[in-house]
Amino acid sequence: MRYLSTRDKETKTTASGAITMGLSRDGGLFVPEQLPRISRKSLESMCGMNYRQRAVFIMNQFLDDFTSAEITLFCEKAYSSMNFDDPGVAPLHKVDEKTSFMELWHGPTCAFKDMALQILPYLLTASLDKVGEDKEVCILVATSGDTGKAALEGFKDVDRTKILVFYPRDGVSDIQKLQMVTQEGGNVGVCAVKGNFDDAQNGVKSIFSDEELREILAGRGYFLSSANSINWGRLLPQIVYYFSAYCDMVKNGSIVFGDEIHFSVPTGNFGDILAGYYAKCMGLPIGRLICASNENNVLTDFINTGVYDRNRTFHTTISPSMDILISSNLERLLFELTGREDELVAHYMKELSQYGKYEITNLMQERLVRDFSGYFCDDEKTKLVIRAAFKKFGYLIDPHTAVAYDALNHYRHDTQDDTPAVVVSTASPYKFCDSVLDALGDKSGAKGLDLIDRLSEVTKTAAPKPLTSLRAKTVRFDVSVDKEQMRTVVEKILQ
């Protein structure tokens, strides 16, 4: 199967080419030439498989320059019981007849980024071999929290790779910071940047576009790559769990095979929900995709008006992984909404970078709302939802998941449509202990790792091992630099 650039359909490459390059030279994102159809019969047989087998089945459809044996090996390693503490990998938690939560946080870093970043290193290193690249790859990441840790865990001690993560010194939670600065592995580096997430991200971007540095590094046998969510190798593994959730909804008796279900997805960069859209295009019986945002509600407005406008105040919220005003993966949806008109996509993206704004046609908006609904939820409401869900179901959810649950409730209230639905749960509540404790009305004032014990005490739930074990770990990285020094850090590490 070939992959095309969203901004120039004539730019075509293989799956391994797309995964190696990440982004097309013209600035576009790679999309499959056509989406494979999964027949009713195949879906039925998927219901009898475990998560790893489902992953192999779906990924096989897209990666035809990989052997089935390779994909099987990668899935077995990535989604092993060593890495995921639940045998279902992405299990459903059913709270009532119509509603289940899909828990995507049973991996090593307790957030859904693990679903893709546990397997990406295998896909990437195999892709390098396939395209004949013999340099060592250095992954550079700027993170607002979850991605950095998940990328570190995925790439640690992977042959022929190094990984270097920059995080904003004052922009991540205590627990997220500890997770990163105690990272183990011989090929990893972590560095704080004095500034906010944008400073870290701009620093990384300018390193990527620094041709002189690239040449120096190439001379030393390195090339730079990124692990961010526009890489096809990150999107593809996410399609799997929509299929998996569907099968599990059949198995837990919420639906009979063939019925439609809705998904509500907490959305930032539009990667997660886009994977759901692709699953729907592949024939999975999905009704609506509910796009849930926090106060940074640029996508809610886009769905409801057809105008994408990033010219607005940026809010720092208690669901920080969704504090985003430019959702990069939306470009892939635009490609489909335009009927795959690459020039039109390029035009919208140019308007976005020039004016921070674009407006799609009426026809495109009609297509958009055929599949998507959009809602948003502010911090106050998010806390109320966490508290209410715990009270009603004894089920503890994190702020991102709460935003999605609220969106589903809104949708049901607006439409009186009570089709069974899955709320995509993207982080363990223990990753955001302070906000969750606050939501539950706890005033203990605990700090740092004590927050984990406190949350466990208050809710009588068990904290995930990767977080409780942080206490015993040593801090390995305590450097912080000005953003102008980031380039020097890269040069030093890649000697």
Point out which residues bind ligand PLP (CB under 6 A). 111-113, 146, 229, 266-272, 321-322, 400, 426-427
Q: Which is nearer to ligand PLP, 128 or 151 (CB)?
A: 151
Q: Cα separation of 149 and 21, whole Å?
A: 22
The residue among 14 and 183 lying less far from ligand PLP, judged by its C-beta, is: 183
**Which residue's entry shows tokens 């809610």?**
300
Quote the least distance from Cβ 383 to ligand PLP, whole Å.
16
Amino acid identity for residue 137 in this structure: V
**Smallest distance, ligand PLP to C-beta of residue 110, A:** 9
**Cβ-based burial of 45 (10 A; exposed 0-12, middle 13-18, buried ≥19):** middle
Between 266 and 374, CB nearer to ligand PLP: 266
Q: Least separation, in Å, of the C-beta of 372 and ligand PLP? A: 13
| 80-85 contacts at long range (C-beta below 8 A, 24 or more positions apart) | 83/107, 83/108, 83/114, 83/118, 84/114, 85/464, 85/465
Residues 6+ apart with CB under 8 A from 336: 277, 281
Those residues whose C-beta lies under 8 Å from the C-beta of residue 243, and which sit 6 or more positions away, are 38, 43, 46, 54, 58, 279, 284
Cα distance from N-terminal residue to C-terminal residue, the chain: 38
DSSP line for 386-437: HHHHHHHHS----HHHHHHHHHHHHHHHHH-----EEEEE-B-GGGGHHHHH
Q: Which is nearer to ligand PLP, 138 or 274 (CB)?
A: 274
Beta strands in 313-377 (DSSP E): 357-359, 372-376
17 vs 145, beta carbon nearer ligand PLP: 145
CB of 304 to ligand PLP, least distance (A): 18
Torsion of CA 318, 275, 131, 207, to 10 degrees: -20
Cα within 13 Å of Cα(134), Cβ side = 1
Least distance between ligand PLP and beta carbon 185 (Å):
21
Q: How far is the CB of 151 from ligand PLP (least distance, A)?
A: 12
Nearest residue (CB) to ligand PLP, 14 versus 327: 327
CB of 398 to ligand PLP, least distance (A): 7
Bridge-partner residues for 265, per DSSP? 291
φ/ψ region of 339 (left if φ > 0, alpha if ψ in -120 to 50, else beta) reads left
| Beta carbon of residue 269, minimum distance to ligand PLP (angstroms, whole number) | 3
Helix spans in 103-167 (H): 113-117, 120-131, 146-155
Which of 146, 342 has the CB closer to ligand PLP?
146
Of 13 and 176, nearer to ligand PLP (C-beta) is 176
For ligand PLP, the closer CB: 269 or 459: 269
- Residue 234 CB, shortest distance to ligand PLP, in Å, is 9
Question: Are residues 334 and 6 in contact, defined by beta-carbon separation less than 8 angstroms?
Answer: yes
CB of 363 to ligand PLP, least distance (A): 25
Residue 382 backbone dihedrals phi, psi, to 5 degrees: -55, -45
CA–CA separation, 389 vs 448, rounded Å?
A: 25
Give whichever of 161 and 264 is closer to ligand PLP, judged by the CB atom.
264
